[in-house]
Amino acid sequence: MRDYTSYSDSELIEKAKHGEDVAFGELVSRYEQQVAGTVKGMLGDNAAAEDVGQETFIRFYRSLEKFRGDSALGTYITRIAINLSLNEIKKQKKVISLFYSRDDEEKEFNIPEERNHGDESDTKELIDNALLALKPEFRSVVVLRMLQGYSTKEAASILNVPAGTILSRLARGQKELRKILEPLA
């Protein structure tokens, strides 16, 4: 079996296009953490996030022939992950709307009463819950910019919106996060 770790992304893409599954496996290895971080930031750490992560690579595999390299591969794969995450959020909202009437109260953001402020896993859980409380358009920008480390320009490319929209959504998302997390400080 060949070692593909030294190959560039573009070389691996070409090999994968020609049926070398191990080359595609190397691409998955390179980007699985990035995709996992993106979908977990968008959907939380749950089975739906795992499904969306897997579906991201299935969609990427099916679209290999269409990939032209206009953007970095990480950007392309992240765009797939964000789009699938947004689709999952829409699907979840439809399911929820079947069980709640418009007259029902909005779900409030619940935080466990007992928590150890010094516990890192509790802090991570609080932040994850706060992210999930954001509107999807703010959440996607916060995840890309603050958690995944993309630049404003890269996030704009991934989400296919102007850079100014990214900056606006980031500011509004951060403001909402502060509002959610402030009582916990």
Per-residue pLDDT averaged across 51-76, rounded?
93
pLDDT at 118: 53
pLDDT at 45: 85
pLDDT at 182: 84
Q: For the domain bounded by 108-185, which CATH number is listed?
A: 1.10.10.10
pLDDT at 103: 47
Helix-strand-coil split of the chain, %, nearest 5: 70, 0, 30
Q: pLDDT of 64-89, one tens digit each? A: 999 988 889 999 999 999 999 999 99
pLDDT at 123: 74
Under the banding of pLDDT at 50, 70 and 90, the label for residue 2 is: confident
Question: Coil, helix or strand for 48?
Answer: helix
Per-residue pLDDT averaged across 117-124, rounded?
65
Per-residue pLDDT averaged across 42-52, rounded?
92
Per-residue pLDDT averaged across 52-72, rounded?
93
The angle, 0 to 180 degrees and rounded to 10, between the axes of the packed helices 152-159 and 163-181 is 100
**Domain coordinates in residue numbering, the chain:** 1-103, 108-185
Residue 107, pLDDT above cutoff 50 = no
Per-residue pLDDT averaged across 139-166, rounded?
93
Q: For the domain bounded by 1-103, which CATH number is listed?
A: 1.10.1740.10
The terminus-to-terminus CA distance of the chain in angstroms comes to 53
